[in-house]
Every structure is written in structure tokens, then in C-alpha cells.
Structure 1
Amino acid sequence: MIDLRGFNRSQYAAFYEDELPLMFITHRTEKYTEEEQTKMALKGGCTWIQLRMKENLNLETAKRIVKMVGFSNRVCIDDDLEIAIKSGAFTVHLGKNDMPVSEAWRIIFERYYDDLFLVGATANTFEDIVEANRQGASYVGLGPYRFTETKKNLSPILGLEGYERIMEQCREAGLKIPIFAIGGIRYEDIDPLMETGITGIAVSSAITQAPDPVKEMKRFCSRIKYYVKQRGHFD
């Protein structure tokens, strides 16, 4: 039986009360496997791991990651709803060419207790965010901020001006869906990005390519916590 204490049902989804709006995305390198990266991210204080294995994703690996992370933190499976459900990950992230968010929710409602689940969507424009929100996305990953080698077939680069423009459009439209910046983000990008009004940050290579990944993750977590204290949980 899963202990549901500590969940905080927000307007869009069930987030843990102490969950940081900071997502670490695995990306296998010559130096670190996905499991090694997960251990380092957790040790650095990250509470949200997205398992991205574009070519070799399998249920057994997902189950190991879920067990490693534990139910007090969050595992998100990239692209594969079936593995997200069977592994007990509770969260799936769907790209623009994946299953529609509305279809994912239909399957979840039929097979699973929906209050535990998050369905994230990818966005590159304000219109993408509007559509993701219409279909019931729990959050969106908006990007890319800059060029990144961890993702193929990149959408147009947004840069800081793109985030400022899109976040202003969201405010004018009254959209309150959580929005995470993604794509080549470094530590020094946190402040200017968070000042645009985004909810949080998704990071990958800035951690895995750091001389000390655990130390770098601690730096990211510390800075994100500053904004959580300023705004309140997921505001």
C-alpha cells in the first residue's frame, strides 16, 4: 500500500508538499549510467527524476529507478505511459509527437487512481501551452532555452526573451499551469529564468558534465529553494 500522506492536491495535480520545482533528466553518457545519475541527483537534494532512455527504456530499469527514488520523491517516465503505469512512477512526460495528453488521461482514468498521476507536456510556444492546458496537462516543459545535445530534433531556441514573452502571454490569458524551463540550462540561468515567472527548472547536462555532479546539484537545489521561499510552494 502506498502512503498518500504528504500529497498536496494543487489546481492541476498532486505534488508532494516538500517537492522542489527542479527536475533532473537522465541522459546516458560514457561516464554515467541513468542509475548512477539518479543516485547523484538524489544525493544532491533533487526530489524529481525524469527517466529519459530514448533507445533502451525498459520496465525493469524503470522499476529499479522507482525503487531507488522511493515514494517520498518523484519519478517521471519520458514518452512511455505503459511503463509509467506498470513501474509505479506516477508521472509521464509526453513530447509533441507522442500520445495526446487527453488520451493519456483516458487510459489513466480507466486503469489507475488518477489523483496520484501527473501528465506533463512539451511546449515551444504560447499556443502549445494553451493546448496542453486544454487537454489537462499537469505541467509543461517549455523550451529549449538554448541549444542542447541531450535532445534530438530541437524546436526553435527560445532564449530569455522568448520566455519573457510567453510568460507575459500566460499571465494575460490567466493561465496558471506549472511551467518548467528546459534545454541547456546552467546555474547562472536560474535567476533570470525564474524572474520571468516560470514555476521551475529542468536540468541535465549541467549536472552530468560538472566536475562534481552532487555538489552542482546542491547548488541548483539551494537556489531553487530561495524562490520557493519567496513564492510559496509551486506558486
Structure 2
Amino acid sequence: MLQFITHPSERYTIAEEVQMVLEGGCKWIQLRLKDATDEEFRQTALEIIPLCKENEAFLVFDDRVELAIEMSVHGVHLGKDDMNPLVARENMGAEAIIGCTANTAADITRLRGWDVDYVGLGPFRYTTTKARLSPVIGLDGYTDIVREVRAADILLPIVAIGGITLEDIPAVMATGVNGVAMSGSIINADDPVDYTRKVLGALQEAFEKRR
């Protein structure tokens, strides 16, 4: 499970980023444009929605529930300060994908019984967008959190996020998480298409080892 999170860069437009990761085989895109106006967000979404449809990829918006409904995308990812996921579910319906941000086991436990599809748990290591807000978790932290929430019979899929690279995937997946979300390591790679392919291959290897 790989989610690619868009991030403005000097090298590529958002549409170019999405096109490359889709070519690399990624099937799950999160459009994240924190500082954009709704109209700017809408215009970028209009560029990437056809790409996702053509490649049969899921597209979720970071926050922007109203826009997600308006543009009929698959769902949203909600941060701690965004719309309550229960309200989002009521507004978006049963078929929508709804993900939530988590930094601790307690964050995940609070979602027990809620109609949420996954949590993005992080940050794995320091990043300019994540770790300034929350302490890094690291491998031991992921292992402990996954163990705690699974022992509490919480089976919500957990996606690791925050500075993860291709080289990290075997160890990160060994902690018991269900997938990873990546952004900068893909965008900054010499060949983002090939890098995406290698990430997906590493994830597949990791899942096979857990069987």
C-alpha cells in the first residue's frame, strides 16, 4: 500500500508529479495543497482527476471535504484540526474513503468504532512539514504503537508517514504497519517513475515476508 502525497516543488508541477507516480504503478494519490485557495485547489484537481481515472487510481483530498464532494473524488484525509471524521462521513456517504492523522496510540484508540478507513501515523523521522508539529516516532515507536493498538483489537489499517525512503521500507513494514505514504523522496529522486516502481517492489517483498 503506497499513498503518494503531492507537494509543490521547483522541478515539477503537481500534475507532472502525479503522472510520474502513476506511471510507476502507484494507485493512491493524496492531493495536498495547504496554502492554496479553494479555486487554486480546484484547478489543480481538474488536471489530475483525469490522470487518476485513466490509471484507475484512488484520489483523496487533504481536508477540503466540500470540494471532494463537489468533484466526486474518492475521499479525504483529515488532520487533527480538520473536520470531524464522523461529520465527514455523514456528508460524504458510506462509500467515501476517510483517513485520519495520528501521532500516538491514543490518537488511534480514540477512533475506535468510528467509520474511518485508515490512519496516517507519523512522523517516522524529521521533515519540514511533519516533525515540527509532533515528535518523531522511529522504528521502535511504530513497533510499540502497532502492538498496543492491535492488542486492543483495533484493526484499522496504519500507514506510516514522514520522511520515509526506499531504503527504510523493509524495516518500517516489519513494525506491522499496513503501508507507507511518501512525497519528497519520490519527487526528489533522479527518476521518480523508476523510484516509485522500486518502492512498490519493496512493499511487495515486505508483504510476502509477513505471510
TM exceeding 0.5: yes
Query: Is it true that 1:155 corresponds to 2:134 in the alignment?
Result: yes
* Other-structure match for 1:34: 14
Contact 2:123 2:130 in 1 (8 A): no
What is the SS of the residue equivalent to 2:110? Answer: helix
Counterpart residue identity of residue 166, structure 2: Y
CA offset digits 1:48-81 (Å, max 9, x no partner): 1111111125223213211111172101100111
Match of 2:181, SS? strand
Match for 2:27: what amino acid? Answer: T
Q: Partners of 1:216 and 1:164 in 2: how far apart? A: 26
8 Å Cα contact 1:138/1:177 also seen in 2: yes
Of residues 157-166 and 222-231 in structure 1, the stretch that sits farther from structure 2 once superposed is 222-231
Partner of 1:5: none
Equivalent residue number for residue 10 of structure 1: none
Count of matched residue pairs: 207
Matched, 1:198 2:182: no
5+ residue gaps, structure 2: none
Q: For residue 187 of structure 2, what is the aligned residue in structure 1?
A: 208
1:33 partner amino acid? T
Distance 1:32 1:152 in 2: 24
Q: Which piece of structure 1 moves more, 80-89 or 190-199? A: 80-89
Between the aligned partners of 2:111 and 2:127, the Cα distance in structure 1 is: 23
Gaps of 5+ in 1: 1-20
Percent of matched pairs sharing the same residue:
41
1:133 to partner: Cα distance: 3.5
Which residue does 1:64 correspond to in 2? 47
DSSP-derived class of the 1:148 partner: coil
Letter in 1 for 2:162: G
In structure 2, how many angstroms separate the alpha carbons of the residues matched to 1:152 and 1:163? 15
| Offset at residue 98 of structure 1 (A) | 0.7
TM-score by length of structure 1 reads 0.83
- Quick one: distance in 1 between partners of 2:64 and 2:204? 30
> Structure 1, residues 27-66: CA drift from partner, whole Å, max 9, x if none?
0011111111001100111111111111125223213211
Match of 1:78 among 52, 56, 62: 62
Distance 1:192 1:182, change over 3 A: same
Q: Find the residue that maps to 2:206 and give its secondary structure.
A: helix
Other-structure match for 2:34? 54
How far, CA to CA, are the matches of 2:132 and 2:81 in structure 1?
11
Seen in structure 2, the aligned counterparts of structure 1 residues 161 and 229 have a Cα distance that, compared at 3 Å, is: closer
Per-residue CA deviations over 1:114-165 (Å, capped at 9, x if unaligned) read 22x1100000011101112333211000000001124474211111111011
The residue aligned with 1:222 is: 201
Code of the residue aligned with 2:57 in structure 1: it is: N
Deviations 1:195-219 (A, max 9, x none): 1110000000110111111111110
1:66–1:88 CA contact under 8 A, matched in 2:
no
C-alpha root-mean-square deviation of aligned residues, in Å? 1.6
User: Given the two structures, how large is their TM-score scaled by the length of structure 2?
Assistant: 0.92
Matched letter for residue 205 of structure 2: Y
Q: CA deviation at 1:84?
A: 1.2
- Equivalent in the alignment of 2:2: 22
